[in-house]
Amino acid sequence: MEKRWTILSADEQKVNSLKEALKINATICSILVQRGIDNYNTAKQFFRPQLSDLYSPWLMKDMDKAVDRIINAFNKKEKILVYGDYDVDGTTSVATMFQFLKSSHDLVDYYIPHRYREGYGVSKLGIDYAADNGFSLIVTLDCGIKSAELIDYANSLNIDVIVCDHHMPDDCLPKAVAILNPKQKDCNYPFKELCGCGVGFKLMMALAEKLSLPDESYLQHLDLLATAIAADIVPIVDENRILTYYGLKKVNTNPNPGVKALMRLAAVQCEMFVTNLVFVIAPRVNAAGRMDCAKKAVQLFIEKDENAAMAIAEILHSDNTDRREADASITVEAFEMIGNDVLAKDKKTTVVYQEHWHKGVVGIVASRLIDTYYRPTVVLTKSGDIIAGSARSVSGFNLYEAIHACREHLIGYGGHFAAAGLTMMPENLDAFVKQFEEVVSSTIREELLTPEIVIDAEVSFDQLNLAFYNILLQMEPFGPENMRPVFISRNVFNKGCKVVKDKHIRFVLGQNNTTLTGIGFNMADKFQTFETRQPIDIVYTLEINDWQGNKNLQIKVIDFRLSQTNLN
């Protein structure tokens, strides 16, 4: 699929000023300026993150109320239930808060709702569990901000609730004892993009200060917090950058036994980065809730014995294998359905439905379909007597608003700009499919149906060396709003490229007097571009090829096309 190339630029005066201050490469200074790092002090904070730069937790609205209510529960020997969502953010949140509270108060337990029996967020079953077992305080993590009615129900049973959440609040807030959510309109907390586990972390910080506990009481859980930040795809800037930076240090030196077990099962033998958390740890944790019950993910993270942790990790690993098999088979079926639809090529949306598909993987399948067809996509299955499913968007298109416009055909829906969930009666399926196509077709800009590659800078091969790469490496951890820098080089020549494993291209490329090697994954179908021996423009990231102790710079090609002119 052809892609749009967008090359970023930066204020030249700011770039020159930063170059003078830092004494480093102008290209790197340009990338930093693009990311809001335009003076010595912001650069120092960026390259040398410090835990001391974390904001005071007391700046968050209701923090004093939350802390006072928990300490009151300690003093009165009340039972506290830690309640969280079934995804990575929710389970890591619960594991960290449960262990933290348990270290000071024995009457603590946790609850994870079942994805299919209870659904997302606070559930009536969960509140009834608290009431039946004598809990008088519930601390929600990564959920609760949209559960006003259910929290009213908890209040009617004399159960207080503290909400720790990061999702966008509605106008009507739940009547909780305290609501910790930096996205509240009247919350003055400086950083708005914490994940659910991050909000819980701030509560632990405040409690530790109030109870005179050592910093290690909450810092020991930074590896789980880094996993949540990575998996929840929140911006890795500001506080999230600091927390991820130190969380990765713990992952790589002294990880939680559960994280360590998952790394062993995935045969990790190199340094862990954010991408490893996203693609190695997170899928295995999410698989617990997708295929069965996510409670075992919390059990994994609170287990201290490494052998016992390994036994639980093997169950999650098996769940992930089942998830991959279900995902693969459904994806094949979905591709066949789209291929047999003679009108599909003219549509601006993809909606596919089979009642036997596994509900836990339809969101993943939607993402895979977008990789091929690149248009707003909904994958649906049968859930009891209703149809339920997940939707995913293309970059820049507000999927939630499109689904909202079709609400007359839905039982319920929720989500955000890029992803959503929805339910409907079977008899409304055709009407929904028709209206969703009409809404998207009338509102989406044509260019949004072509994938975009954002390029940070144009460079020549002779600029690239290990010193340049080592500075880039200090920009880790990479993630949203601080992505791994992407470069373009023009008028590059093929010096011996070949197809490997029938689907990848191994590159040997030259520009002027400099030659670099690299790899382009799943690009074999574009190999004919080289047959003309004409110059090409390539878009890529940089990486190190470490072979038998010899480290060489190589490129990881993202895209390429024939150059418009030959400048060599």
Question: Three-state secondary structure along 141-202?
Answer: ECCCCCCHHHHHHHHHCCCEEEEECCCCCCCCCCCCCEEECCCCCCCCCCCCCCCHHHHHHH
Which single residue is written with the structure tokens 């929710």?
Answer: 90
Nearest to 275, CA basis, from 227, 243, 222? 227
**C-beta atoms surrounding 2 within 10 Å:** 8
Output DSSP code: residue 435: H
d(CA 149, CA 155): 10
- Residue identified by tokens 């409690």 is 207
End-to-end CA distance of the chain: 28
Q: How many Cα atoms occupy the beta-carbon half-sphere of 340 within 13 Å? A: 7
Picking from 533, 495, 537, the residue whose alpha carbon sits closest to that of residue 517 is 495
12's enclosing H/E stretch is: helix 12-22
Following DSSP, what letter does each residue of 100-152 receive, concatenated?
HHHTT-S-EEEE---TTTT-SSS-HHHHHHHHHTTEEEEEEES--TT-HHHHH
All CATH 3.10.310.30 domain ranges in the chain, comma separated: 341-449
Q: Where in the chain is the domain with CATH 2.40.50.460?
A: 4-8+453-562
How many H helices and E strands in the chain? 20, 19
**Helix, strand or coil for residue 423?**
strand
H or E element, residue 224: helix 222-231
CA distances from 166 to 229, 232, 239, 240, 503 (A): 12, 11, 14, 13, 41
Tell me the residue type at 270.
Answer: C
Residues 236, 215 contacting (CB under 8 angstroms): no
CATH fold, domain 4-8+453-562, is: OB fold (Dihydrolipoamide Acetyltransferase, E2P) (2.40.50)
How many residues comprise the chain? 568
Q: Where exactly does CATH 3.90.1640.30 map onto the chain?
A: 57-316
CATH 3.10.310.30 for domain 341-449, yes or no, is: yes
Q: Which residues contact 373 (CB under 8 A, 6 or more apart)?
A: 338, 350
What predicted TM-score, i.e. pTM, was given to this entire model? Answer: 0.91
Q: Which two tokens stand for residue 428?
A: 């409304």
- For residue 11, give the amino acid letter: D
Q: Using an 8 Å Cβ cutoff, are 568 and 512 in contact? A: yes
* Four-way CATH pick for 57-316: 3.20.19.10, 1.10.390.10, 3.90.1150.10, 3.90.1640.30: 3.90.1640.30
What is the Cα–Cα distance from 458 to 26, expressed in whole angstroms? 12
pLDDT for the residue numbered 529? 77
How many angstroms separate the CA atoms of 105 and 125, rounded?
25
Averaged pLDDT, groups of 10, the chain, 568 residues long: 92 96 94 96 95 97 98 98 93 97 97 84 94 98 93 97 92 95 95 96 98 97 97 93 97 96 90 92 89 90 96 93 90 92 83 92 93 95 92 93 95 84 94 97 95 96 93 94 96 89 89 92 82 87 82 91 67
Q: What is the CB neighbour count within 10 angstroms for residue 324? A: 14
C-alpha closest to that of 460 among 492, 496, 493: 492
The β-bridge partners of 400 are: none
Which tokens hold the place of 211? 């109870």
| pLDDT for position 484 | 96
CB atoms near residue 96 (< 10 Å): 29
pLDDT reported for residue 568: 38
SS3 at position 542 = strand
> What per-residue string of b and e applies to 414-452 under the rule 16 or more CB within 10 Å gives b?
ebeebbbbbbbeeebeeebbebbbebbeeebeeebeeee
